[in-house]
Amino acid sequence: MADAPRNPAPYTEADIHLIQRIIPHRYPFLLIDKVRDIVPFESAVGIKNVTFNEPHFQGHFPGMPIMPGVTIVEAMAQTSAIVVGISLNVIDRPLNTFFMSIDNCKFRRKVVPGDVLELHCKVKRGGGKVWKFEGRGVVDGQVAATAEFTAMMDLHSDA
């Protein structure tokens, strides 16, 4: 990733179209709808509008739909990948993000259809291939989940 630009792109928000220009995730695994308050190399807040139509609710759990904890952490990671994409100005360049570790992960509240999940993500260390983040999932002002995670960023070309 040595050829990645270091001049941040001039975005403080990312709608679904910009998100798809930065990360490769698509239905059914694109887990963020919008990212706001983007501060390159520092932080952002992802937004996930949780709906009953999502495929994991068929089995998790019938009659009591709860967003799986691993998908909450994945949504944090996708939000963090948008911070990286904006920070390194790699819009329209394929950016893969691979988990390396997840630490201190805790779930404190159910996330259910109808909730708006805010994913508050902060960069703890970054700038090269390996980035470390802390994330907090919040619904109606209540913390639903927290985690620290490390990811490797891989710019790849299909050429």
* Residues identified as active-site: 60
Longest dimension (CA), the chain: 50
Classify residue 124 as left (phi > 0), alpha (psi -120 to 50) or beta.
alpha
What span, in angstroms and rounded, lies between the C-alpha atoms of 80 and 122?
8
State yes or no: cis peptide before 61, omega within 30 of 0: yes
- How many Cβ atoms sit within 10 Å of the Cβ of residue 61? 11
> How many residues belong to the chain?
159
What span, in angstroms and rounded, lies between the C-alpha atoms of 93 and 105?
31
In which residue are the tokens 């050429």 written?
159
